[in-house]
Amino acid sequence: MQDLLDRDRLASHDRSGDLGALHVADIAVHLDALSPAEAALAVSRLPLERAAAVLDHPSLADPTGLLAALEPSAAAAILDAMAADRLADLFRDMEEPPRKRLTALLTPEARAIVAALLVHPVHSAGALMTTEFVSVPASWSVGETLRHIREVESERETIYAIYVLDPVSHRLQRSVSLRRLISGDPEAPVGSVARFERPVTVLPQVDREEVARLISKYDLLAIPVVDEKNHMLGIVTVDDVIDAMTEETTEDVHKFGGMEALDEPYTRIGFLDMLQKRAGWLAVLFLSEMLTASAMQHFEDELEKAVVLTLFIPLIMSSGGNSGSQATSLIIRALALGELQLKDWWRVALREAPTGLALGSFLGVIGIARIALWQQTGIYDYGPHWPLVALTVGLALVAIVTFGSLAGSMLPFALKRLGFDPASASAPFVATLVDVSGLVIYFSVATLVLSGTLL
């Protein structure tokens, strides 16, 4: 339904005409389809506040190009009206020629705020935060606070959470929600309607994933970012966190698929950029998987003596990879949600070992049944020693699925321990790990079971 509405609305506007009745997000989408000059013309016709909101919006593909196409005075006015956090994001991603020109258009205050925000690493609370929040000293009354909010409302990113500071040390004491404030007694001190609990805060270097987890856990509309002494530096608002969560999920899915995160929509990224993001991991996996060729070369005698063994190589290897991929996806997610910590690795190992044994036995029984069935019904002849071949396949499946579950579940812990993102433990990564060791397991089992008969 939403889509229909949007198309109706879009259809009623000419390409650079009146965008006033559209949502900011839809204006951004609309501008993306125009040439820079057309887009600049359309933006310059918008009221300043809405123009700034459009430039503030993460859907807009190329805000820098749009600003560069505007008259310098118009660009300066819009930059001045933009939220500090988004302004910093904009300059963070900007390349050199326009960067210098646009920096010159900022007011000295804005330049200082942007410089301060740019200090924080990408994806940290400090980089996500805005400095446009409302704080009042604890000595104020509810009525004074409300009057202050009405005055500053238009310049603040959110006014639904108000932060109460110690009047002397300026340290954060409590937070008040606007809903409690408007139903409070105007004469009472602002602290009297504050939340009961100490505010949940984060340090600026905290990762956005952790910020999202806290906002979600405590159902916050914004979370204060504080320094070590509990002085407020800014706030991260829930809408920035949602955008960050979406980006983070995209990154994790890309990584889990066995590639670098694209960082740009599939439909927008250039052909060569995409090749680069995919070729790197593909080559690393390919080079590692070459060890399977080495392993097979090592067992060439066995291979020549018992060609029947080769028939089951793909089947057995893929089962190890599949069980490993299951375990990895479970652990990556449990680590991301904070359900598991690094120190829980042995608990997981103790759980995955019996799980792998059970799953491996299940597949082993199916595998043995398959060979027996084909043999007995005459579909294929696995030779006079077929019961031993079936036993080899069954035992190898138990061992490899158990190994796969263990290796797949331990890999994210190992990566996290080494300081990497556990989500880099992709399904192809686990499969490659298990493939090489799976071959060795398979041929070792075969040597044990078949020595004296086939081998």
Footprint of a copy of itself on residues 276-295 (CB under 8 A)? 278-279, 281-283, 285-287, 289-290, 292-293
Strands (E), 133-186: 134-137, 161-165, 172-177
**188 touches a copy of itself by CB under 8 A:** no
Among 7, 12, 17, 20, binds a copy of itself (CB under 8 A): 20
Q: Which stretch binds a copy of itself (CB under 8 A): 64-72, 74-82, 164-172, 272-280?
A: 272-280
Q: Interaction with a copy of itself in 103-142: which residues (CB under 8 A)?
A: none
Three-class secondary structure of residue 335 per DSSP: helix
Q: Interaction with a copy of itself in 383-442: which residues (CB under 8 A)?
A: 401, 426-428, 431-432, 435, 439
d(CA 430, CA 330): 13
**25 touches a copy of itself by CB under 8 A:** yes
Q: Please, which residues have CB within 8 angstroms of residue 2's CB and are 6 or more apart in sequence?
A: none
**270 touches a copy of itself by CB under 8 A:** no
d(CA 329, CA 419): 19
Note whether 132 and 84 are within 8 A (CB): yes
Task: Rank residues 139 and 250 by Cβ distance to a copy of itself and give the closer one.
Answer: 250
Site string for a copy of itself, 336-355 (x = CB under 8 A): -x-xx---x------x--xx
* Residue 99 CB, nearest approach to a copy of itself (Å): 27
Task: Rank residues 112 and 337 by Cβ distance to a copy of itself and give the closer one.
Answer: 337
Per DSSP bridges, beta strands 222-226 and 172-177 are unpaired
* Residue 257 CB, nearest approach to a copy of itself (Å): 2
**153 touches a copy of itself by CB under 8 A:** yes
d(CA 438, CA 363): 15
Q: Interaction with a copy of itself in 364-383: which residues (CB under 8 A)?
A: 366-367, 370, 380
Note whether 232 and 203 are within 8 A (CB): no
d(CA 173, CA 74): 41
Among 224, 234, 258, 394, binds a copy of itself (CB under 8 A): 258
Q: Which stretch binds a copy of itself (CB under 8 A): 64-72, 80-88, 110-118, 302-310?
A: 302-310
d(CA 57, CA 63): 9
Core vs surface per residue 179-208: b (16+ CB within 10 A) or e: eebeebeeeebbbebbeeeebebbebebbb
Note whether 344 and 371 are within 8 A (CB): no
**241 touches a copy of itself by CB under 8 A:** yes
* The residue type at 302: E
* Residue 100 CB, nearest approach to a copy of itself (Å): 31
* Residue 403 CB, nearest approach to a copy of itself (Å): 15
